[in-house]
Structure 1
Amino acid sequence: MGDVVSLGSVNVDRVCHVSADELATFEARYDWFPERGETVRVADLPDEFDPEVDERRHGGKGANQAVAAARAGATTTMLGKVGRDHGRYDVVSALARAGVDTDALGTADAPTGPAYVFVEESGDNRIVVHPGANAAVDEAYVRAHADAVAEADCLLLQNEIPVAPVATLLDSLDDDPDRPTVILDPAPPDGVDPLLTREAVDHCTPNEHEYAAIESSLADYEGIVVRKQGGDTLYVDTADDGFAVEPPAVDPVDTTGAGDVLNGFLAARLAAGASLRDAVETAVTAGSMATREAGARSGVPTLDAVRAFRG
């Protein structure tokens, strides 16, 4: 079924269900507070930032995408770092139970990446990410696992770990004729431009907010752009003009992680040798199906379930 490596973030999500009035208060108080469907990275959260947390769940775009790739049938490895508190939150064990190889995960002297997921009554979300242990992913760690990356069929990247070591890794893949297909999720978009300039990035998968933020940078990007738009039409821009895919109609409960599910399935299907159109159509269906349950991972379907849903 193909080998997938996800190099990225591992988080513990603090889920906060909020009303429209509560959202308005956050928006008025913090100019960096995300818009609907947006993820922002904040290096230093103010002391007074103390939203009411309803529950804690496993998250992180890198880890979520790894779980989705495994559910889609790929042999999947997670690369990144967790904090020494990971046992308290069952972070690594949960990934392993989902079928992800966690042997190469590192441990840092920082808390496992905390993220605040604000879920609206409509099921839409806004995410605030604090780096935590994710910031400890450095060039030495990436170099130590470069062979595993080079041997994979597909590499999943996001923008919740430091850019510099990832850029160096991409440079090392340029001259490798057997390098993996690289999928970059430019989330959050702030600071992602150095990765977009790397020739090894084959696919870029922004949502509508991320696309607006990096549209000017994409003018010089020569890869394939998969424009995620939630429950609306998804557009695939290629050198041959591309195509559009309509997501299936579902009743969403929580959209958290839906884009991660799409990315994970896209990687797994491309790694398995599927055509771009088939891989995207399968991935779009999987992402839509995942919104029917709360949490970034609880609703991730299997490949068999997606195929049955598509008929």
Structure 2
Amino acid sequence: MTDVVSLGSANVDRTRYLSTDRIRDLEARYDWFPAAGETVRIDASPELPALEADRYENVVGGKGANQAVAAARAAAETAFLGCVGADAAEYGVLETLADRGVDVDRVAIAADLETGKAYVFVDDTGESWIAIVGGANDAVDDAYVDRHYERIRTADALLLQNEIPVAAMERVLERLESESTRPTTVFNPAPAEGAEPLCSRSAVDIVVVNEAEYAALEEELADFDGTVVRTRGADGVVATGAVEHRVTPPSVDPVDTTGAGDAFCGYLAALVGGGAGLERALEGATVAGSTATETEGVQNAIPDRETVERTLENRNVDD
């Protein structure tokens, strides 16, 4: 079985489903508010006016945790490495991940911190705006990754995002660069701010960016020696590197795009780590990301491997 490690964030997602007009009003009112499809880091939980949301939910999220669930749904043996706060049990963070097939035995608990939080706003069309507060995610440090380095080194694929300290990820990549064998590393620089140093590490093989992230990191990615994968929603996926690949997504009716990128990354790592060629891996990841938009939520919306394979088979027959 393919072995995947996701080193990253675990959050409690506080999701509000609002009208597009209400979200536009928030964009105009607050300087920290993200753009559509963007994830931004903020220093503290925001003070917001009373919002009459259609629905308000607290669910387990965080890009590291989400991508771990996606890899597990892609039938990979998957471990999540990261840090949660003293309130994790209140929200069932580790229990939820374990129930979804993820090994959480090595997750640290910071007794003096809260679990990271994400403030997620979803509009009538399914578009999302995300602001994160680091919390316990910021406690992932060199000592933590050194303790678990062998688990990382021996994996088939490593997933990294940008919701934990860059220094800890640089520590891992620096050590991997001296290894004769190492995992295939998939880096998703979200949020893009501060991710620049990681784009130059030789132990990073694939960088996955949406259009906003690509625009923010275009200069760094121009010098990147690996494969750059641009996810462009309904416009499809473009991968550039030694060979260019283009993948057209299946036709879907999106209701929530929040988890599409995480579903894509987790599947891509599981498929590439399992020996699939890049083109085949991109096709599977594209189907997974697109299918995830058809259900509200993130982790619960990620399709299983059987569903993705069935969609791929039907697409091949239609072609």
Q: Structure 2-normalised TM-score?
A: 0.94
Q: Which runs of 5+ in 2 are unaligned?
A: 314-319
Aligned residues: 310
Task: Give the 3-state SS of the residue equivalent to 1:301 in structure 2.
Answer: coil
Residue 44 of structure 1 deviates from its aligned partner by 2.9
Structure 1 stretches of 4+ moved >6 Å: none
Q: What's the counterpart of residue 201 of structure 1?
A: 204
Asked whether 1:188 is paired with 2:208, we answer no
**Which residue number corresponds to residue 287 of structure 2?**
285
2:273, 2:200 → 1: CA distance? 23
DSSP-derived class of the 1:307 partner: helix
Query: Partner residue of 1:2?
Result: 2
Structure 2 counterpart SS, 1:35: coil
| 1:90 counterpart residue number | 92
Task: Give the distance between the partners of 1:11 and 1:82, measured in 2 at CA.
Answer: 8
Question: In structure 2, the residue corresponding to 1:205 is in which secondary structure?
Answer: strand
Whichever residue aligns with residue 265 of structure 1, its letter is: Y
Equivalent residue number for residue 317 of structure 2: none
CA contact (8 A) 2:259 2:301 kept: no
2:19 counterpart letter in structure 1: S
Q: CA deviation at 1:249?
A: 0.4
Q: Which amino acid aligns with 2:228?
A: V
Equivalent pair of 2:12/2:58 in contact (CA under 8 Å): yes
Question: What amino acid is aligned across from residue 14 of structure 2 in structure 1?
Answer: R
Tell me the SS of whatever aligns to 1:295.
coil
Q: Secondary structure at the match of 1:149?
A: helix
Q: Which residue of 1 aligns with 2:77?
A: 75
Aligned equivalents of 1:24, 1:248: Cα separation in 2:
29
Corresponding residue for residue 21 of structure 2: 21
Structure 1: distance between partners of 2:201 and 2:107: 25
**Residue of structure 1 aligned with 2:58, choices 56, 59, 70:** 56
Alignment of 1:111-150 (within 5 A): 111-150=114-153
Query: 1:234-261 CA deviation, whole Å, 9 max, x = no partner?
Result: 1000123x11100000111111111100
Query: Residue 288 of structure 2 aligns to a residue in which SS?
Result: helix
Alignment of structure 1 residues 224-263 onto 2, 5 Å: 224-240=227-243, 242-263=244-265
Q: Deviations over 1:4-36 (max 9, x none)?
A: 000000011001112222212211221221111
TM-score calculated relative to the size of structure 1? 0.97
**Residue of structure 1 equivalent to 2:316:** none
Task: Determine if the alignment matches structure 1 residue 41 to structure 2 residue 46.
Answer: no
Instruction: Please give the alpha-carbon distance, in whole angstroms, between the structure 1 residues aligned to 2:229 and 2:80.
Output: 23
Q: Show structure 1 runs of 5+ residues with no match.
A: none
Shift of 1:217: 1.1
- Tell me the secondary structure at the aligned position of residue 27 of structure 2: helix
Native 8 Å contact 2:8 2:163 kept in 1: yes
Matched residue type, 2:308: V
* Matches of 2:234 and 2:96, distance apart in 1: 28
Q: Distance in 2 between matches of 1:176 and 1:50?
A: 53
- Identity percentage over the alignment? 50
Higher helix share: 2
